[in-house]
Amino acid sequence: MSTDTAADGPLAGIKVVDVGILVQGPQAAALLCDMGADVIKVELPNIGDQARYILLGPDDFRSAYFNACNRGKRGLTLDLGQPEGAEILKRLIEDTDVLVSNFSTGTLEAWGLGYEELSEINPRLIWAAGNTFGPSGEDRDRKGADLAAQCAGGLATTTGRDGDPPSPVGVTIADHIGSLNMACGILAALQARASSGLGQKVEVSLLGGQIWAQAAEYTHYLMTGNVPGRSNYGHPLIRGAYRIYATSDGWFGVIGVPPNSLDELLIGVDRADMLVDERVKALGTEEGRAWLLEQLELAFAKKTTDEWCETFKDTSIRYAPVRDYDAAANDPNVWENGYLASGVDDQGVPQKVVGTPIHMSANPLEPGMRAPSLGEHTDEILLELGYTKSVIAALREKGIV
């Protein structure tokens, strides 16, 4: 087990083999690693996970994507497309609890590593797979990635303002949601196995995750036949003052104003006069809301974001400054909660990483501090499987590991 892995985590003693690439599968496995599982990252010899090639820059060959999704794991190189490589994985599977993958549909099956084949070797195995468009239907074999799901799932049409062209979210949100769905399915399968003694197949997709993430908005459509529309600085289904406003130096979010707090909002923005304006009685109409938003836009533009935060700090108004990564990373609260974390990796090197978003009182989660170099633990893992050094050397000579 990697020294980065929490030995007393809730999944301590669980063994996970991650043969995934890029984000969806590897990030699911990373969360299991934070929970204390021993996660073995399997990559193609001399090439590795494609995420390794999303570089920080032309002169900086580190990869934020690879490190973010693989910290704390052990690294094994293995050519699964070669019969000898597939046989090594089958041997590894004998005492593995979870296999994680997000190859194109049918890839593992073509290598003889599908659920049916591996469950015969280990009936307790949980075989978890993710793809882009779902495990069934005519698109099941179509290749894709995060952007495909944002497009096909409708998310790219919800951002921005009326009249703007569609715009993707600026993060790999479909991959991240897909990874959480995969981890959730794996945890449920582990719980089911505790009763039945048997593993099972768990399948998720980027498209399915996108639709699930927009469940309320899709339900609105299913109930009314009307597409909710663009965010327009807020949310198409949440009315009132719920939105972000330009300030004199940035943006400020008003996260909803209950009816009995309207006076606090208008007094706070120095517009108490609006409380006696006849138009305030029509805030439930489109015309009334348009008037309110126009007046608030003018008011918020008069002060800085920090000044507005101070103004509403001790009120019932829910608010948040609109921050970039730099501002968020300089918030002590983010570090206090472990959402960003610092520590020392297993080689004694100080690191800063994205922490785990889950807090558990009895079995706290611990983020790994370092991703493995390509094949870093290959010899260690193969020796654990009973391979001799001479056999490992021969496998390496043939490019199997």
| CB neighbour list of residue 134: distance below 8 Å, 6 or more residues apart | 140, 205, 207, 208
What percent of the chain is predicted at pLDDT more than 70? 98
- Which pLDDT score, from 0 to 100, does residue 2 have? 46
User: H helices within 257-377, ranges in order?
Assistant: 262-268, 286-300, 305-312, 325-329, 332-336
- 245 pLDDT higher than 90: yes
State the Cα–Cα distance between residues 55 and 329, nearest whole angstrom. 21
| pLDDT (mean) for 50-60 | 96
Is residue 6 predicted with pLDDT exceeding 70?
no
Say yes or no to pLDDT of 379 above 90: yes
Strand partners, 343: 351
For residue 120, how many other CB atoms are within 10 A of its CB?
Answer: 10
Span 196-227, pLDDT tens digits: 999 999 999 999 999 999 999 999 999 999 99
Q: Is the pLDDT of residue 1 over 80?
A: no
**pLDDT higher for 60 or 284?**
60
pLDDT at 259: 80
DSSP element (H, E) containing 192: helix 173-196
Q: What stretches of 83-181 adopt beta strand conformation (E)?
A: 98-101, 126-131
* Mean pLDDT to the nearest integer, 8-16: 96
Q: Which residues contact 182 (CB under 8 A, 6 or more apart)?
A: 24, 25, 28, 100, 128, 130, 202, 204
Q: What are the tens digits of pLDDT across the range 350-361?
A: 999 999 999 999
Q: Which residues pair with 244 in a beta bridge?
A: 253
Could you give phi then psi for residue 293, rounded to 5 degrees? -65, -40
Give 55's pLDDT tier (boundaries 50, 70, 90).
very high
pLDDT given at position 258: 83
Strands of 38-43's sheet in order across: 74-77, 38-43, 15-18, 98-101, 126-131, 201-205
For residue range 280-327, list pLDDT tens digits in order: 989 989 999 999 999 999 999 999 999 999 999 999 999 999 999 999
For the chain, give the mean pLDDT. Answer: 96
> Which residue ranges form the domains of the chain, and what is each CATH number?
15-213+359-397 (3.40.50.10540), 243-321 (3.30.1540)
Compute the Cα dihedral for 295, 299, 301, 306 and give only its sign. Answer: negative
- List pLDDT tens digits, range 66-97: 999 999 999 999 999 999 999 999 999 999 99
φ, ψ of residue 116 in degrees (nearest 5) = -60, -45
